[in-house]
Amino acid sequence: MSIPLEVQPIAKKHKQIGVAVIWDRDRHKILIDQRLPQGDFAGYWEFPGGKLEEGEDAIACIRREIKEELGIDIEVGAQLIAVSHEYEKFIVSLIVHHCYHISGEPQTLECAQIRWIEPSELANYQFPEANYQIVEALNKI
Ligand SMILES: Nc1nc2c([nH]c(=O)n2[C@H]2C[C@H](O)[C@@H](COP(=O)(O)OP(=O)(O)OP(=O)(O)O)O2)c(=O)[nH]1
Ligand SMILES: [Mg+2]
């Protein structure tokens, strides 16, 4: 027997996101950006990154997204953490890597603003809920 259409649960979209914790040359500060004033999580702070494309792994995704969003070249290093979180409308898996700034001045190509901060300052910024495990992992370093 089939379930009537109106009572079938709607599967939430699952987004796989490559995320960069970019360390400055002295490896003391990390880069965070503020999302644009429209769209999902408008005005929240985040670590730059975006959706994995077909056939791409997290490392290639992060390198591409950082070039697109900030216009800089980075070295993608070891994974810090992978976090999955269910939001009201979708599920995200964030694959987070330590990254190192190689060259170029970060530009606000797809975000409202950019800041270099010390990990201990993360508590002063509003991040999406999925980020709290990332912040915790960074505070343990
Ligand atoms: N880049 C990034 N995304 C994050 C973080 N935390 C978090 O929950 N996300 C979520 C918000 C978004 O739903 C998704 C990635 O955002 P995005 O702006 O790069 O891509 P998107 O999924 O909004 O793109 P689109 O559907 O509008 O095409 O991951 C984070 O620290 N960085
Ligand atoms: Mg993005």
Spacing, Cα 128 to ligand 1 middle (Å): 9
Six token digits for residue 69: 């969003």
46 lines ligand 1 (CB under 6 A): yes
Supply the CATH number for residue 32's domain.
3.90.79.10
Domains contained in the chain, number: 1
Atom of ligand 1 nearest to the CA of 65: 19
Question: Residue 108: pLDDT above 70?
Answer: yes
pLDDT digits (tens, 9 = 90+) for 55-93: 999 999 999 999 999 999 999 999 999 999 999 999 999
Identify whether 6 is part of a domain: no
Using the predicted structure, report yes or no on whether residue 27 has a pLDDT greater than 70. yes
Annotated binding site for 8-oxo-dGTP: 35, 46-49, 131
Is 12 inside any structural domain? no
The CA distances from residue 7 to 12, 14, 29, in Å, are 15, 21, 49
Give Cα separations from 125 to 44, 120, 122, 132 (angstroms). Answer: 8, 11, 6, 11
Instruction: List, in sequence order, every residue forming a beta bridge with 9; answer none if it has no partner.
Output: none
* Strand, helix or coil for residue 136: helix
Q: Report the alpha-carbon distance of residue 12 to residue 90 in Å, rounded.
A: 5
